[in-house]
Structure 1
Amino acid sequence: MAQRTRTASGTRMHKVVVLGECAVGKSALTMQYVRHQFVDYHNPTLEDEYTRKTTVDDILVELDILDTGGLSSLATRSIRRQYLRGAEGFLIVYSVTDKRSFAELDQWLTLIERARRYDQVPSVLVGSKTDLAESRDVSRYEGEQLAAKLGCPFVEVSALNRSGVDDAFHELVREIRRKEKIEQFKLISESQEESRLSNTTKHRSKKSIKARSGHRSSNVVCRAWRKLCSH
């Protein structure tokens, strides 16, 4: 389970990772969100880390964003497991112009599952490059269906015109918060159940002691009565 952290000022920090195949627009998406700049070229082998403070639903947070490199070799993926284990959430990105990048999502999902095992990690499915409408190869319906299967939000974005960029990251923050609330509810429920069981055990113990005490008192009375009658 990922560690919850705060900055020196007390602001809640969320560690998130942007995953996906090479050239799907991960870096363009991240740079547009962090710096409000469109970058049409980025070295696909680099892994960069960025931070940005933002307000989501009137709450200030800081995002620590890891933009992973695009190489998909098993060796590279193995190295990235350290990031996967520490992340609180994932943006899982494919390009709507590249059917292969959509099909390859299964491998990335498997990688997350292996790294996190039974931990349910907040995620958002992101279809990028929607500005290239004439080259679209993955329909919005296909993206929505996969997101429904995964049980996560779905956002289509364009890093070029910034459409949907903020929505993708902010939805991920909301998913992280939902998970935290569920965990808090479970902890409270478990604590209340433990308290109930403890009180029940104490109550039964008191009844048992009282019953034994009553039984002893009854025996004393009977013995005294028998002794009196024998005289």
Structure 2
Amino acid sequence: MVKLAAKCLLAGDPAVGKTALAQMFRSDGAHFQKNYTLTTGTELLVKAVSVPETSDSVELFIFDSAGKDLFSEMLEKLWEQPNVLCLVYDVTNEQSFNNCAKWLEKLRAQAVGMHLPGVLVGNKTDLVGRRVVQQKQAQEWAEKQGLEYCEMSVKEMKNFEAPFHILARLFHQLYREKVESFHSLV
């Protein structure tokens, strides 16, 4: 049994549901808080995730970051040396999707020369009639960027655990590859 720890950066525009996602995940869906205050700087949430088909687990240190540029200088220090990333956008807000490219660039700048596994998450799928970013469009963009993709509705408690299970699996896979690479050298 292996217990790993991974620094997970959660990023995206303000009001896309990053804090709701992180808090729902940490509480195992115990409650959906209807009112949130704007995150200033970063909140840290920690939760262990079991890796399927193994006895291993990954403890995710989730850095829930403010979506405002105002905090970007402070974020750069907190974002140093991430292991995995989670980009969140609102499926009813095209600008929040378009800004994912900017967020991804900022996140990858913190891990130059490293493979940084990640997932793009489309939130607010419960707002069907207001949807402007189509799943296929987002999925194609994610694939081009080397990211996994999933959609969810934190409000309806649908699929909110998926991004973190994906990240735990990706990080574990990267760990296994490094161990195998190390063993091949010995």
User: TM-score with structure 1 length normalisation?
Assistant: 0.72
- Residue of structure 2 in register with 1:143 after alignment: 138
- Counting only pairs closer than 5 Å after superposition, residues 166-181 of structure 1 correspond to structure 2 as 166-181=161-176
Supply the AA of the counterpart residue of 1:176.
F
* C-alpha distance in structure 1 between counterparts of 2:110 and 2:177, whole Å: 22
* C-alpha distance in structure 2 between counterparts of 1:87 and 1:139, whole Å: 29
Please say which of residues 33-42 and 104-113 is displaced more in the overlay. 33-42
- Residue of structure 2 in register with 1:165 after alignment: 160
Aligned residues: 180
* C-alpha distance in structure 1 between counterparts of 2:147 and 2:104, whole Å: 12
Do the aligned residues in 2 keep the contact of 1:13 with 1:62 (CA within 8 Å)? yes
- Counting only pairs closer than 5 Å after superposition, residues 37-76 of structure 1 correspond to structure 2 as 37-46=31-40, 47-57=42-52, 58-73=55-70, 76=71
- Residue of structure 1 in register with 2:105 after alignment: 110
Secondary structure at 1:126 match in 2? strand
Do the aligned residues in 1 keep the contact of 2:81 with 2:111 (CA within 8 Å)? no
User: TM-score with structure 2 length normalisation?
Assistant: 0.88
Task: Summarize deviations over 1:27-79 as a string: whole Å, max 9, x none.
Answer: 11111111122123222233211112332315333222111112123xx2222
* C-alpha distance in structure 1 between counterparts of 2:181 and 2:58, whole Å: 24
- State the identity %: 26
| Structure number with larger C-alpha Rg | 1
Could you list the runs of 5+ residues in structure 1 that have no partner in the other structure?
A: 1-9, 193-231
| Root mean square deviation of aligned Cα | 1.8
| Aligned mate of 1:20, from 12, 15, 19 | 12
Do the aligned residues in 2 keep the contact of 1:130 with 1:156 (CA within 8 Å)? yes
Secondary structure at 1:65 match in 2? strand
- Residue of structure 2 in register with 1:228 after alignment: none
Supply the AA of the counterpart residue of 1:77.
S
Q: How far has the Cα of 1:182 moved from its partner?
A: 2.5
* C-alpha distance in structure 1 between counterparts of 2:127 and 2:173, whole Å: 33
* C-alpha distance in structure 2 between counterparts of 1:116 and 1:60, whole Å: 23
Could you list the runs of 5+ residues in structure 2 that have no partner in the other structure?
A: none
* C-alpha distance in structure 1 between counterparts of 2:165 and 2:45, whole Å: 16
Query: Higher strand proportion, which one?
Result: 2
- Residue of structure 1 in register with 2:23 after alignment: 31
